[in-house]
Copies of this chain bind each other. A is one copy, B any other.
C-alpha cells in the first residue's frame, strides 16, 4: 500500500500502464495532476477524450487525420505521383521534419512479422495497392524501418508492385541499421531520401 486512497492509486495505475513509465514516474505524474487547477485538470481529461475520439485514419493514406483525409492528402502542393511507405504515423512526422520530401505517404501500421503473427493482411498493404490503380502513381519509396521486419515488408511490397510497372525504391542506408526510423536525425533522413536505390 503506497497510497491507500483509491482515486489516487487508480490514477497512478493508469499512468503506470504506459510503456516506459515506472512506478516513481507514475507517482510524480499523479501528483502533478493533483497540483493542477480544476480547469487544467478538466482540460487534461478532455484532451485525452478529444484525441481519442477526433483522431481517425485518413481514408487514402491511413495516416492519422482529424477528418476523412489527412492534411497531406488534402494538400494540392503535394506530389501525388510519389508515395512514401512507412510503418507508423510517427515516421511520417520524422520524414516531414526533413522538409525534403514533397510526395504523399502510406502508413502500414506495422510490418510483416511472422513471429508476432503479423502477415501482409494484418497491415495496410491492400489499401496501398488500391491507390495504385488509377495510374497517377509513378514511384513508391519504401521507408519501413531498417530492421528485419521492415526489410521483409519492403521486399514483399516491391515484389507485389513491380509487375504493375511501378518504380519501387528503398531509403538509402543512411539510416543506422537496427535502429528505429522515429529516432533518426533530419540530416541522416535527408541523405537516405537522396540516395534511395531501386529494389
Contacts and interface: CB of A to CB of B under 8 A. Distances in A.
A54 interface: yes
Q: Is chain A's binding surface mostly helix, strand, loop or mixed?
A: helix
User: Which of A20, A36, A41, A45: most chain B Cβ within 10 A?
Assistant: A45
A33 B29 CA distance: 15
A121 to B, nearest CB: 20
A119 interface: no
A8 B63 CA distance: 13
Nearest to A54: B7
A41 B29 CA distance: 17
Given A10-B51, A14-B43, A20-B28, 9 more contacts: A3-B89, A4-B71, A7-B54, A8-B51, A8-B64, A31-B90, A36-B52, A42-B49, A45-B48
